[in-house]
Amino acid sequence: MKIKTVCAWCGAFISETNCLETKNFQALAKDEVMVSHGLCPTCRQAIEIKYGLNKKKGGNENV
Q: What pLDDT does residue 21 have?
A: 75
Q: 7-39 pLDDT, tens per residue?
A: 999 999 999 998 877 776 666 677 778 888 999
13 vs 58: which has the higher pLDDT: 13
CB of 1 closer than 8 Å to CB of 24: no
**pLDDT over 80 (residue 57):** no
pTM here?
0.67
Residue-range domain boundaries for the chain: 2-51
